[in-house]
Structures are given as structure tokens and as C-alpha cells.
């Protein structure tokens, strides 16, 4: 049964539906693989009792089929409250918290028939693209367990790459679906902001930087999970109408125009080999009949960074300021969280307004680019997977990083204005470590972007060609 874990979610679903295997068989194979490999990875956390999960799998097998996810074992990113499962946000403040109710994302997964087996590891409160926290420790990269799996969806990406899960959810504020996907040789999609709803709690108008999204080892599974997660909620503004993302996924990409943004004219320092790998990978688009054009920087990088850091700190302070206000709770926050909160608390309303004006200017500029190009490309990360014992990379080459997240700056152009982006595997570097590229589309262009990613997957299939040697 071990070969069941090599299959993607839709392939497993079809086998269960045809009676070729059972939810019980899939659960047993999944839990066996987690037991064998997860101790070296710390990808899955808060794993539930095996006997209980096996009983739930048997019950699923006897129940009416709810959807393509029926009977499949899934673990939810540990930034979501999941009823009955320890939900920590990677923070000592919530180390023993077991919610009584589900957040919207796990609620939708359960309604679709998925069996929630536990959580996937994250950095504390999702801050930083390195999944380490004082509750569970650090998630290791399946391609080199001395390296990081990235973050904040690092546990999800590592679990996918190691075949501990068939498909996974994640979230992305500053590359948290894209960076770990690149580091673990899987796909991660940040949808257009507003496509995947969250519970309408607190302010739902101002803070538009973070969104949930899907991760997978193939594009079809990713599209299917996006369909499940993206049904609109009328209580939320900024809604985007979902589409049948899995239908007609295979299309001919010939004639598509793609703009290559490289290192943004040198503004985004890259470790050696990353740009070369991505430029070599682009030959595949040319072979597919696409036209790839190198582009100069379309907007000043420092303006983007100023706008981003202002709006991000404002959002983080709004979310976590309640913990900072209590000295006892503040003492349990990591230094980067305290820095981010205090920076946000110091901002004036007009500073936030001016940052949003820059954001608005960039959105208009990007919209103009998409009048010429069907998609844009950037690397998914600026460094190769790094030593997992680091707190965060303090330099790229001879350029010092002036904050805990400056090394992730290449993801900012997308996050700042809520564009859809898919990190696709781009291959491997000289040390055998994976890297990815961001495929970027116009707001609302998620379906077209999935079709481009599917053509890429058909031509390359890096996850299938080169799984980790665990």
C-alpha cells in the first residue's frame, strides 16, 4: 500500500470512487509514511490518534460520497483553528489550545468529506519564510534535512514533497505559498485576493495582503482544491467570482506572451545560480510556443518596499497588537513579531494612506503590463534553501538584509496588489536543491494562469521526475 502515497489527491479519489482502493487503505498508507519520515522533517504536527483516524476512514468508506475529497487524509496549516485539534499558530501563547469550532477553510474541507489528521508546521504567527517555532521546532527540507523548507507554509510543502499528504492548503502574505513550494519542488498558488474567503471577523476592507490558497504536486490537484476553497461568502467585500478551474485545464499555450522580470534590474539580490536556472527553464516556454521577453523594472523597487513594509506592519499590529499590549504575553512573542507590531503601532493614518497611494500606482502600472503580456515571471526566492539552524538570512552575498524579511523581497510585487501567482518548479541547482519561478497574472486571471501552469507541468513534471530520496 506504500505506493498509494505516491499518488496525487485526484488520482486517489478516482481509485476510491472506482472501488480499487479504500479510504481505510489510504489512511493506513499515509499514517505509516508519516510515522517513518515525519520525525526527520517535523512537517506534520498535532497528529491525531491512529485508531481514531482509522475508524473515521472506515466510516467515510461506508458513508455517501460528498466530493472528490471524500475520505482523503489532509492536515491543515497551523494558522487555522481546527475543532478538536491542537492549534498553536507556532506560538507558546497557544501551545495547548484546542478550538471548539473550525475556521472557514477547515470547515469547507470537512464539508467536502476530507479527514483532518493534524496540522502542518509554521513559523510563529506565520512571520518569516522559515518554519521554525518554539512549540514544535523546525521543519526540514526533504531534499536536504539540514536545510529549511521555507515558510510560512513550510510544513505543508515538505509534507507534499515527502508524500505525507496528497494535497495541502497554505496561506500567503509575503510569499508563504510560493517560497516553500520553490524550496520543496512542488506547486503553490497565491490566488487573486478575494477569491478564497476567510471568516468575516474584524476589519474586512482595509487589510488585503494575505490570502489562503492551494499547494500540490500537480496542477490539476491544485485547481481542484482551489475550486473547493473559493466558493464566495456574501458577507465579504472584494469578492471575485470563482470559475470551474479544473475544466478544460489542458490548453495550447502557443502564442502566449510572457515578460521576464529577472532580478528587477538588480534591485533583488540573488544567490548565484538562481537567475541562470530560471533563464534556462524559460527555454521550455519557448519550446511550448510562447514568446518570452526580458523586461526592465516596471516600477521602483524601493517604493514597493516602502509601501509593503508600511502596510504589512500596520496589518500585523492590527492582528497581534492585543498580545503586545499585555506584558506577560509580549514576553512570549519572538523579537521579529515585537519589532513588526511596534513598527505598526507607530504609524500614522496618513503614512498608511501614502503607502496605499503607492500601491494604487503600482496596480495601475501592472494593469498596463497585462495589456501586452499574458503573464510575467520572477524567481520564487532569492536564496537557495538555507541552513535550518539560522533564525533568518542576514545577508545575500555581500548585501546585508536590514530586516528579518528583506531576503524575501522578490514576492512583494505580487502580494502588494493581490495578483494571482503560481510558483512552479524550475529545476535544481548545483547542490541538488530545488528552486521555482513565479508565474504572475492579472487580478482575476487565475484560470488562465492555472492553464499556463498545467502546460508547464505537462512539459516538465519536476515533482514526478525528481522526488526526494528519503
In the predicted structure, residue 2 carries a pLDDT above the cut 70: no
Angle (CA) 143-441-435 rounded to 5° is 15
pLDDT attached to residue 187: 99
Rounded mean pLDDT of 329-341?
98
Those residues with Cβ within 8 angstroms of residue 137's Cβ, 6 or more apart along the chain or in another chain: 42
Q: Give the pLDDT band (50/70/90) at residue 221.
A: very high
In the predicted structure, residue 106 carries a pLDDT above the cut 50: yes
Active site residues: 77, 152, 176
- How many whole angstroms separate alpha carbon 246 and alpha carbon 228? 11
C-alpha dist (Å) from residue 143 to 31, 34, 40, 215, 432: 21, 16, 12, 18, 8
Q: What is the pLDDT of residues 236-250, one digit of tens each?
A: 999 999 999 999 999
Q: What percent of the chain has pLDDT over 70?
A: 100
Rounded mean pLDDT of 185-211?
98
Q: Give the pLDDT band (50/70/90) at residue 339.
A: very high
- How many whole angstroms separate alpha carbon 404 and alpha carbon 465? 34
- How many whole angstroms separate alpha carbon 146 and alpha carbon 41? 10
In the predicted structure, residue 166 carries a pLDDT above the cut 60: yes
pLDDT attached to residue 237: 97
Q: What is the pLDDT of residues 255-300, one digit of tens each?
A: 999 999 999 999 999 999 999 999 999 999 999 999 999 999 999 9
Reduced to 3 states, what is the DSSP secondary structure of residue 98? coil
> What does the block give as the cell for 464?
514526478
Q: Give the pLDDT band (50/70/90) at residue 56.
A: very high
> What does the block give as the cell for 29?
498508507
pTM exceeding 0.85: yes
Q: What percent of the chain has pLDDT over 90?
A: 99
- How many whole angstroms separate alpha carbon 384 and alpha carbon 270? 9
CA 96 to the chain's CA centroid: 25
Task: Give which of 393, 271, 270, 396 is closest to 336, Cα–Cα.
Answer: 393
In the predicted structure, residue 318 carries a pLDDT above the cut 60: yes
pLDDT attached to residue 43: 99
pLDDT attached to residue 274: 98
Cα pseudo-dihedral 82, 83, 84, 86, rounded to 10: 30
**Going from the N-terminus, what domains does the chain have, and what CATH number goes with each?**
2-302+352-465 (3.90.1300.10)
Q: What is the pLDDT of residues 387-439, one digit of tens each?
A: 999 999 999 999 999 999 999 999 999 999 999 999 999 999 999 999 999 99
Q: Give the pLDDT band (50/70/90) at residue 225.
A: very high
In the predicted structure, residue 1 carries a pLDDT above the cut 60: no
- Classify 177 in phi/psi space as left (phi over 0), alpha (psi -120 to 50) or beta: alpha
Q: What is the pLDDT of residues 453-462, one digit of tens each?
A: 999 999 999 9
- How many whole angstroms separate alpha carbon 96 and alpha carbon 147? 28
Mean pLDDT of the chain: 98
Amino acid at each position: 500500500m506504500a505506493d498509494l502515497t505516491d499518488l496525487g489527491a485526484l488520482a486517489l479519489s478516482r481509485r476510491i470512487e472506482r472501488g480499487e482502493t479504500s479510504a481505510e487503505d489510504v489512511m493506513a498508507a499515509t499514517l505509516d509514511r508519516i510515522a517513518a519520515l515525519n520525525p526527520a522533517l517535523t512537517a506534520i504536527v498535532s497528529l491525531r490518534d491512529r485508531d481514531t483516524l482509522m475508524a473515521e476512514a472506515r466510516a467515510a468508506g461506508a458513508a455517501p460520497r460528498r466530493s472528490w475529497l471524500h475520505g482523503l487524509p489532509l492536515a491543515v496549516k497551523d494558522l487555522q483553528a481546527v475543532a478538536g485539534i491542537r492549534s498553536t499558530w507556532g506560538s507558546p501563547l497557544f501551545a495547548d489550545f484546542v478550538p471548539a469550532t473550525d475556521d472557514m477553510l477547515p470547515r469547507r474541507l470537512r464539508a467536502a468529506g476530507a479527514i483532518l489528521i493534524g496540522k502542518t508546521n509554521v513559523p510563529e504567527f506565520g512571520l518569516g519564510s522559515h518554519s521554525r517555532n518554539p512549540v514544535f521546532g523546525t521543519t526540514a527540507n526533504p531534499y536536504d534535512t539540514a536545510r529549511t523548507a521555507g515558510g510560512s507554509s513550510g510544513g505543508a510543502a515538505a509534507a507534499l514533497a515527502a508524500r505525507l499528504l496528497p494535497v495541502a492548503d497554505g496561506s500567503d502574505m509575503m510569499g508563504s505559498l510560493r517560497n516553500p513550494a520553490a524550496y520543496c519542488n512542488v506547486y503553490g498558488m497565491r490566488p487573486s485576493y478575494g477569491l478564497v474567503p476567510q471568516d468575516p471577523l474584524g476589519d474586512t476592507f482595509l487589510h488585503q495582503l494575505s490570502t489562503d490558497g492551494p499547494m500540490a504536486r500537480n496542477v490539476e490537484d491544485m485547481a481542484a482544491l482551489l475550486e473547493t476553497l473559493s466558493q464566495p461568502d456574501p458577507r465579504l467585500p472584494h469578492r471575485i467570482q470563482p470559475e470551474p478551474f479544473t475544466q478544460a485545464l489542458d490548453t495550447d499555450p502557443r502564442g502566449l506572451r510572457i515578460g521576464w522580470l529577472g532580478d528587477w534590474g538588480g534591485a533583488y539580490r540573488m544567490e548565484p545560480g538562481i537567475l541562470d536556472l530560471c533563464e534556462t527553464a524559460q527555454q521550455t516556454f519557448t519550446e511550448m510556443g510562447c514568446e518570452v521577453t526580458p523586461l526592465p523594472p516596471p516600477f521602483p523597487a524601493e517604493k514597493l518596499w516602502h509601501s509593503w513594509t508600511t502596510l504589512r506592519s500596520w496589518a500585523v499590529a492590527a492582528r497581534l497588537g492585543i498580545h503586545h499590549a499585555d506584558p506577560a504575553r509580549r514576553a512570549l512573542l519572538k523579537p521579529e513579531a515585537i519589532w513588526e507590531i511596534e513598527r505598526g503601532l507607530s504609524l500614522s493614518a496618513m503614512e498608511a494612506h501614502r503607502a496605499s497611494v503607492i500601491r494604487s500606482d503600482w496596480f495601475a502600472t501592472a494593469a498596463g503590463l497585462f495589456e501586452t503580456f499574458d503573464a510575467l515571471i520572477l524567481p520564487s526566492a532569492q536564496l537557495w534553501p538555507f541552513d535550518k539552524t539560522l533564525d533568518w538570512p542576514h545577508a545575500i552575498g555581500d548585501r546585508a538584509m536590514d530586516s528579518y524579511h528583506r531576503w524575501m523581497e522578490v514576492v512583494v510585487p505580487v502580494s502588494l496588489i493581490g495578483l494571482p501567482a503560481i510558483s512552479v518548479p524550475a529545476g535544481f541547482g548545483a547542490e541538488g536543491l530545488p528552486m521555482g519561478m513565479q508565474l504572475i497574472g492579472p487580478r482575476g486571471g487565475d484560470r488562465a494562469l492555472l492553464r499556463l501552469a498545467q502546460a508547464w507541468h505537462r512539459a516538465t513534471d519536476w515533482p514526478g521526475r525528481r522526488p526526494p530520496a528519503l
